[in-house]
Amino acid sequence: MEYMNTYQVSTIRKDFPFLSCSPNVIYFDNAATTHKPHQVIETVSQFYACHNAPIARGIYRAAEQATARYEEARTTIARYIVAHAHEVIFTSGATEGINMVAACWAQHMLKPGDELLVTQLEHNANFVVWQQLAKKIGARLVVANITAQGELDMQDLYHKLSHKTRLVAITQTSNVLGTKVDVGSVIAHAHAIGARVLVDATQAIPHQRINVHELGADFLVFSGHKMLGPTGSGVLYVAQRMYEQMHPCRYGGGMVQQVTQDTAEWAPVPHKFEAGSPLTAQALGLAQAVRYLEQLDFQALAAHEAHLTNQLIDQLTKYNRVHILGPIDQLRTHGHMVSFVIDGIHAHDIAAFLDAQHPSIAVSAGKQCANIVYNALGIQAAVRVSFYVYSTSEEIMLMSQYIEQIIRSS
């Protein structure tokens, strides 16, 4: 296929130590966490070995150099999402970012009777936070439905937007179904009635470029470990226009300029929201992951992932007992994951069977921290197979043979 001319998987795989250290593992759980290229691993290691010093707390050379590296990482990530550097807040991941929006903005701006609009596609991190906040402040949690095919019911969402809606919290790509949402349209409709929008881009940003200013989101979050970066790394993007409405939600060193016995003066953004010792090595590792991704042809990557998705769908649809979840037509053109169930076989048993093979195949089985999706579909658990930059067609074919074995033996 044409994409193979610009996307050489064999070359890319050489960058990932896990693939050589664990040659008997085929890894298909990339929606949960991705492996790290040696460039990222070396960046983190070299910081601790050669550059470790406190950030923004020392006037000696090593501390100033470490601070410069940290701020350079912020600039790199801001460039990647087309934001201003001061709009990028480093977090431990998307979950912390969502919780920060709830604590720093929503609980100060919402009042009893206001509405929070979420969807049935959400990861628990972007559902439970708003469920609990609504209970705490007396607001109403409104949930937009998905269709039987696993797509977001846009008409239902637009119908549920009202003059009471203060925030729409929505995923850009479902972590279970792979469903992509037209968040640009949602943002435009929400802004038209004065509502703000938080976008969970965790499953989208590893696979596509995002321009936050063009998108128009008020808040956007993502996790580094799902895009080749270290665990414990992530970003909360806050549009500059929102900063006047945000209050510090964590207090400590680094986020103050002056402190007296009775008062405190906050540091300027984004440091105002980065209390305590920063996750410096993680931020530097995430910036290196971004530099790695910037070298990729994202159109070729999308074609590669769609090829793998189509290949797996074609194999699975041979069997009447296999049911693929989500919008298959959309997955065939824009997919990077496939979730499915097999009649009569629990998802955990399928995953255990695949893991027991040689080479073992690592897939996700269960609810993938997205209970609301499963409740909506009336399903207890599913197997999720998710691809990334180093996944291959040969791996798909081998897994397909194992799937055939488990179906024929049950």
Position 6 scores a pLDDT of: 56
* DSSP helix/strand/coil, 42: helix
Residues that are catalytic:
369
Position 7 scores a pLDDT of: 75
Residue range 5-26: average pLDDT?
91
| 12 Cβ contact list (under 8 Å, min separation 6) | 389, 390
Contact 368, 203 (CB under 8 A): no
Q: Which residues of 253-278 are buried (b: 16+ CB within 10 A; e: fewer)?
A: ebbbeeeeeeeeeebebbbbbbbeeb
Can you tell me the distance from the alpha carbon of 365 to that of 213, in angstroms, rounded to the nearest whole number?
36
**What is the tens place of the pLDDT at every residue in 94-150?**
999 999 999 999 999 999 999 999 999 999 999 999 999 999 999 999 999 999 999
Measured in degrees and rounded to the nearest 5, phi and psi for residue 373 equal -60, -50
Please give the model's pTM, rounded to 2 decimal places: 0.97
Percent of the chain with pLDDT over 70: 99
Can you tell me the distance from the alpha carbon of 182 to that of 193, in angstroms, rounded to the nearest whole number?
18
Alpha-helix runs per DSSP H in 82-180: 94-101, 107-109, 128-137, 154-160
**What is the tens place of the pLDDT at every residue in 273-309?**
999 999 999 999 999 999 999 999 999 999 999 999 9
- Give Cα 394 distance to the centre of its chain: 27
* DSSP helix/strand/coil, 149: coil
- The yes-or-no verdict on residue 178 having pLDDT over 70 is yes
Which of 286, 189, 288 minimizes the C-alpha distance to 231?
A: 286
Give the chain's end-to-end CA distance (angstroms, integer).
36
| 52 Cβ contact list (under 8 Å, min separation 6) | 66
- The yes-or-no verdict on residue 3 having pLDDT over 70 is no
Interstrand relation of 115-119 and 165-171 (parallel, antiparallel or unpaired): parallel
**Amino acid letter, residue 23:** P
* DSSP helix/strand/coil, 270: coil
Position 5 scores a pLDDT of: 43
**Domains in the chain, CATH or no CATH each:** 2-30+297-408 (3.90.1150.10), 41-294 (3.40.640.10)
